[in-house]
């Protein structure tokens, strides 16, 4: 059985400033906890906002991520730079040509990493991403986990729910009749769990700063 660790929203900065704590230290502490586990995860899924908008690129983040105690699957969030992200992580995952989605086999599990930041910065899926997802779901051979940055479910936190997840109804219809058994997200910087489209869906606390509800 596959074992996955989810880490999210480190917002790694390259200017040494953070109003609350150093997210690089938080990430190193998370790696230490994973290293101390009796059974190591088969993979670490990093569900976005790897850097903060203050950062010029990923030069400061890559050395930290290379020290991970398990293979990292990097995903973009709304604070990431798509072009710089693709250049930095091109050898880490097989990204789709038009967005940064990819699939991965983790032990006996299929994982779908879905890029939910649209070119205009809004959360959601455009027709290109929906088509890509339909193709992936049509070939699934086993129960699967879908990871994305933005939770598709309402968080009831206004600053998170606006402007709304684009094409969420089409996304929900696809998930409801698919082999996806678990959805994991970031973005909320909080632990949340609900049932969405008939599937257990959650967000994880951030390694970076907290956000109000």
**Site for Fe ion, rule CB under 5 A:** 9, 49
Q: For residues 27 and 180, which CB has a smaller minimum distance to Fe ion in the complex?
A: 27
Q: Which residues pair with 109 in a beta bridge?
A: 106
Q: For residues 9 and 110, which CB has a smaller minimum distance to Fe ion in the complex?
A: 9
Minimum distance from CB of 206 to Fe ion (Å)?
6
Minimum distance from CB of 28 to Fe ion (Å)?
19
Q: Is the separation of the CB atoms in 26 and 94 below 8 Å?
A: no
Minimum distance from CB of 116 to Fe ion (Å)?
12
Q: For residues 42 and 49, which CB has a smaller minimum distance to Fe ion in the complex?
A: 49
The single-letter DSSP state of residue 132 is H
Residue 125 and residue 96: Cα distance in Å, rounded? Answer: 14
Minimum distance from CB of 89 to Fe ion (Å)?
17
Q: Is the separation of the CB atoms in 208 and 23 below 8 Å?
A: yes
Q: For residues 176 and 191, which CB has a smaller minimum distance to Fe ion in the complex?
A: 191
Peptide bond into 111 cis (omega under 30): no
């Amino acid at each position: 059985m596959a074992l996955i660790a989810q880490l999210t929203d480190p917002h790694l900065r390259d200017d040494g400033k953070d109003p609350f704590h150093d997210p690089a230290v938080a990430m190193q502490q998370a790696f230490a906890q994973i290293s101390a586990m009796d059974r190591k995860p088969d993979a670490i899924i990093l569900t976005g906002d790897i850097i903060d908008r203050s950062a010029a690129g990923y030069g400061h983040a890559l050395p930290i991520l290379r020290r991970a105690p398990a293979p990292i699957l990097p995903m973009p969030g709304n604070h990431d730079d798509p072009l710089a992200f693709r250049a930095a992580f091109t050898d880490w995952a097989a990204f789709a040509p038009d967005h940064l989605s990819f699939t991965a086999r983790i032990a006996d599990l299929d994982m779908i990493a879905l890029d939910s930041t649209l070119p205009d910065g809004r959360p959601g899926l455009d027709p290109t991403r929906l088509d890509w997802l339909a193709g992936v779901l049509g070939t699934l051979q086993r129960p699967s986990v879908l990871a994305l940055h933005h939770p598709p479910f309402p968080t009831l936190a206004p600053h998170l729910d606006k402007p709304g997840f684009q094409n969420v109804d089409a996304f929900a219809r696809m998930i409801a009749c698919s082999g996806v058994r678990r959805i994991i997200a970031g973005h909320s910087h909080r632990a949340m769990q609900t049932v969405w489209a008939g599937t257990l869906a959650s967000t994880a606390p951030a390694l970076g700063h907290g956000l109000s509800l």
